[in-house]
Amino acid sequence: MTVLPEPTPTATAAGQATNPLTDAIIDAAVDHAIQQARQHDTSPHAVIGNTPPVPQEGRPPMSSKAVDDTARMIGASVLIATSGGATTAILWASGHANPTVVAIVFGAPTALVLAISRLAKHAKKAQPEQHHHHYAGPVYQDQRNVRTKNTGVWAKTTNQQ
């Protein structure tokens, strides 16, 4: 087996300059450029602490709930589009693609989502209100329901317990 000689480096090692004066000139030029950029910069500077974020150009900032809702809507739209598209492709390939059937395939998930959202709204309204009372001493609570009825041309109010 032939032994080859070790190669001799022809360039300077990484991180070592050939001329220290060149490094000083480059450092001075970089410092000058940074100083000029700071003088001409009109954007607000980042502050550490309780400073609120500065709104950037483009889309306004969203709350975490809005971000979560957006992700849910994108996920649901992908699911609906793929399932409806697959069903439509199968119907078209089999030769039984009817415009009414295709409309039902694409409309059924939307109607289902609308029905579920209305059901959720009604379920939220049906929940009883929760009252939390904290007392430090003897308390007498009187909860009465008063029915008020206004009748006649000249309003006569009748209160009943």
Residue 11's pLDDT band (boundaries 50, 70, 90)? low
Instruction: Report residue 103 as tokens.
Output: 């409309």
On whether residue 6 sits in a domain, the answer given is no
Whether residue 35 lies inside any domain: the answer is no
CB 128 within 8 A of CB 110: no
Mean predicted confidence (pLDDT) in 7-25: 67
- Residue 153 falls within a domain, yes or no? no
The total number of structural domains that make up the chain: 1
> Domain for residue 29, yes or no?
no
Say if 117 falls within a structural domain: yes
User: Is 33 domain-assigned?
Assistant: no
Of the candidates 119, 104, 109, 105, the residue with the CA atom closest to the CA atom of residue 76: 109
Q: For the chain, give percent helix, strand, coil, nearest 5.
A: 50, 5, 45
Q: Quote the pTM value.
A: 0.27
Query: Does 125 or 138 have the greater pLDDT score?
Result: 138
In a domain, 104, yes or no: yes
- Segments forming the whole domain that contains residue 108: 98-124
In a domain, 138, yes or no: no
